[in-house]
Amino acid sequence: MRQPAVRLLWLSQVPYAELLALQERWLRRLQAEPGTEAGALLLCEPAGPVYTAGLRGGLTSEEATRLRALGADVRAIGRGGLATFHGPGQLLCHPVLDLRPLGLRLRAHVAALEACAVRLCELQGLPGARARPPPYTGVWLGERKICAIGVRCGRHITSHGLALNCSTDLTWFEHIVPCGLVGTGVTSLSKELQRHVTVDEVIPRFLEAFKETYKCTLISEDSPS
C-alpha cells in the first residue's frame, strides 16, 4: 500500500514569526482543498528567545511585560496548553497535516508526536524518555521535561506541534511555570548526555522517527511554499 507523502520544509534558524507565517500559508492551502494531500512537516530552530501562551492562557499582562524586559518576544498563539519557552538550541516541529489521508484522529496524532520524541531520545542514547498521563503533556525523563507538545486541530487539519530541547539555555524557563506544572523541571539532550547536542545533529534521527511513526514518506522542498 502506498504511503502518504508529507512535504518536508527545514527552515534552519529563523525568527519564530517566520515559522508561524509559513504555518498559516500551509493551513490555508490544506483548508482550500481538504483531503487532497497530507500536508507539510515544518522544522526550524528559533533564532531568538520567545515565550508563548496557549489557548488556556498562562501569562498575565504584567508577566508578559516582565518577560519582554528580559529581551524575549511574547506571543499568544492558538495551540493547546499554557505558557512555554522557545529559543536557540531547540528543535521546533510543526506538522501542518490533514489527518484524513494519514488515517489518524487527533488523539492518535498527539500520541504519534510523543512517540517521535521518545524514539529520538532512544536513538540519542536516552532510553528512559516517556510520555506521562494527564495532567502532564510532552515527553519526560523522570521529573524533567525534555519535550513540550501543544497542538491545534480544526476540521481534521493540525498545526503547532512539539519543541524538543537540544542545547537550549534552560535558564529562560526559570522565569515562568512551564506548561503550568509546578514542582517539575526541564532538561535538554545536552544536559542529559553531558555534551553539546545541536539541532542539526538530531534532525536526521527525528525524520527517521517521524516516518516510522506516521507511516509516511517525506518529500523535501528547497524553499517555503
Alpha-carbon gap, residue 152 to 51, rounded angstroms = 18
Say if strands 90-97 and 157-165 run parallel, antiparallel, or are unpaired.
antiparallel
Active-site residue 179, yes or no? yes
* Residue 131: partners with Cβ closer than 8 Å, 6 or more residues away: 111, 114, 115, 118, 138, 139, 140
Please check if 82 is assigned to a binding site: yes
Give dist(CA 18, CA 20) in Å, integer.
5
Query: Measured between alpha carbons, how far apart are the two ends of the chain, in Å?
Result: 28
Distance CA 190, CA 112 (A): 24
- Judge whether 163 is annotated as a binding position: yes
| Neighbouring-strand partners of residue 164 | 91, 147
Q: Which of 177, 153, 163 is nearest to 113 (CA)?
A: 163
Would you say 78 is a known binding-site residue?
no
161 marked as binding residue: yes
52 marked as part of a ligand binding site:
no
- Tell me: is residue 35 an annotated ligand-binding position: no
162 is in an annotated binding site: yes
Backbone angles phi, psi at 119, to 5 degrees: -65, -40
**Dmax over Cα atoms in the chain, in whole Å?**
54
Q: Please tell me whether 148 is known to bind a ligand.
A: yes
Q: Binding site annotation covers 125?
A: no
The answer on whether 180 is annotated among ligand-binding residues is no
Q: CB neighbours of 182 closer than 8 A, spacing ≥ 6?
A: none
Out of 121, 147, 179, 216, which one is annotated catalytic? 179
Query: Does 11 appear as a known binding residue?
Result: no
For residue 185, say whether it is annotated as part of any ligand binding site.
Answer: no
Query: Binding site for substrate: what residues are annotated?
Result: 79-86, 148-150, 161-163
Residues making up the annotated binding site are: 79-86, 148-150, 161-163
Active site residues: 179
